[in-house]
Chains A and B, each alone.
Chain A
């Protein structure tokens, strides 16, 4: 065979045999994630300081396959928050063992709208005044839902330490009947570099910055359905695809392969 043809044949074979690797997995900034695809709360309860609880009785937390953001399962948090002044709680909790600086993300769905009489909370940051003393835990920031004059729902950030609402940069409507993402960046610094930023569906809605945060580096993060005096009293929140990440997840980020 002509040497040139032989070489051409070899080159052609190489190109045709162009094998490849589909993907080089470089690593991850996702420190922890919860997809609920196992049908349990193990992702929360097996993490240090993690739990999934509803109280008092009448409030429930379960994994459902009726709806999901991705996959087939999500957490279904149902509370009965009547006008009796009792706080109803269903929540997924991560206490301690969290980095001083991280992004916290969950996807939520509200099957139906609710009229908020007292408060309705979806996302909480809590603190300890003594990192080693569980009895020193206190409320810090609550991301809540409030009704707007037109009847739709909007966000509210309440600072328990100051007893004031934090002014929002924007106040977009919170969708009902579709999944939306709440993501926070929390740098729990005890000096002026502290920062708490929230995004709703990728849009920054509040930015607390350049100020000390909690008195200790200890952090509690809760994805919850907590309310009081809601109408109707039964309020349902679906939660899915939660993550703690060192970089922003955003709307398109992947938290697991």
Chain B
């Protein structure tokens, strides 16, 4: 029966074949755009699809297919789904992709003729289970700019940051390491060569989980390690210090169809016991009690 329906659909597809390349595309070989298009025509009349999926001239097809080996991904406009299918059943993959596209475009599968809609959806019960891609591990790597504030003059540094989060629960543990490039700045008459690294451990929760973006907040604690050396004093030694304090952050991840997504996160850390920098005769050169910064880069979701 299914084969018969498909043959009927192929006849319809031939009749409307001109629309397929413009509406369904992508590099996938399993399923092929052509096969998905054929299944799609079983669900939704061709003119309805053409109307719903119409794209500007010269634009890529609005439906894109990607074969990821043990899974495949379907994008329809701004909606994305990824399905696991270890067996690589291309025909079933095409069925699922077609159902997703039909629903995503808001087309009424019931208007298709033939087959009756229950035939098309009957496959759902026996097909691979749909898996919405939620990464179990998220690795964020980016460039950071931080400013040390409080007591003395502001010291702004740039560096790199790596952050990793584990799990899919409402609260997940995250940890990061930020290395800032050596910087020479002046506090009063004293030129200070600084090097700084910060490690933190936090809990992250989602504040917003939308189709286009994810907003999260983090609360935790940070450890700062600081090396400072005066470069214009008659007598000077490199000094090392450290401080611990609470940290808060808010981040934004922009969803994309790829594994890598851009992100930006701002943070604030309070180091109540930050070491005071001291030199003679200047005396107290201040202490960076507040560490404020922003990090932007790429977030990699790992299953």
Contacts and interface: CB of A to CB of B under 8 A. Distances in A.
A248 B277 contact: no
Contact of A4 (B203, B244, B282): B203
A10 B279 contact: no
Nearest to B244: A18
A29 interface: yes
Interface string B206-227: 0000000000000111010010
B280 A29 contact: yes
Contacts of A15: 221, 244-246
B147 interface: no
B275 A23 contact: yes
Given A18-B244, A18-B245, A26 B274 contact: no
Given A18-B272, A21-B242, A253-B282, A26 B203 contact: no
Interface stretch (B4-12, B23-31, B176-184, B230-238): B230-238
Interface string A1-30: 001100110111011011111111111111
Interface string A44-62: 0000000000000000000
B174 to A, nearest CB: 10
Interface residues of B, number: 45
B278 A23 contact: yes
B33 to A, nearest CB: 44
A31 B235 CA distance: 8
A252 interface: yes
Contacts of B223: 14
Nearest to B273: A20
Contacts of A31: 234
A125 interface: no
A134 interface: no
B244 A26 contact: no
A152 interface: no
B50 interface: no
B282 A14 contact: no
A255 interface: yes
A31 B234 CA distance: 7
Tell which of A19, A29, A245 has the most Cβ of chain B within 10 Å.
Answer: A29
A26 B234 contact: no
Contact of A11 (B189, B220, B243, B277): B220
A26 B189 contact: no
Nearest to B233: A27
B206 to A, nearest CB: 14
B229 interface: yes
A249 B220 CA distance: 42
Interface residues of A, number: 37
A22 B169 CA distance: 40
Contacts of A28: 233-236, 279-281
B241 interface: yes
A19 B283 contact: no
Interface string A202-244: 0000000000000000000000000000000000000000010
A220 B234 CA distance: 21
Given A28-B234, A247-B189, A7 B203 contact: yes
Contact of A26 (B169, B243, B279): B279
A250 B190 CA distance: 14
A20 B281 contact: no
Nearest to A17: B244
B149 interface: no
A26 B246 contact: no
Nearest to A257: B280
Nearest to A105: B281
Given A15-B221, A18-B272, A254-B283, A24 B278 contact: yes
Nearest to A31: B234
Contacts of A255: 280-281
* Complex A-B, nearest 6 residue pairs according to Cβ-Cβ distance, in ascending order: A20-B273, A27-B236, A253-B281, A28-B280, A24-B239, A27-B233
13 contacts: A7-B201, A11-B201, A20-B271, A23-B277, A26-B192, A26-B236, A26-B279, A27-B237, A27-B279, A29-B233, A247-B281, A253-B281, A256-B280
Given A3-B173, A14-B223, A30-B234, 18 more contacts: A4-B203, A11-B219, A11-B220, A14-B221, A14-B244, A20-B244, A24-B276, A26-B192, A26-B236, A26-B237, A27-B236, A28-B236, A30-B280, A246-B234, A248-B281, A252-B283, A254-B281, A255-B280
Interface of A: 3-4, 7-8, 10-12, 14-15, 17-31, 243, 245-250, 252-257
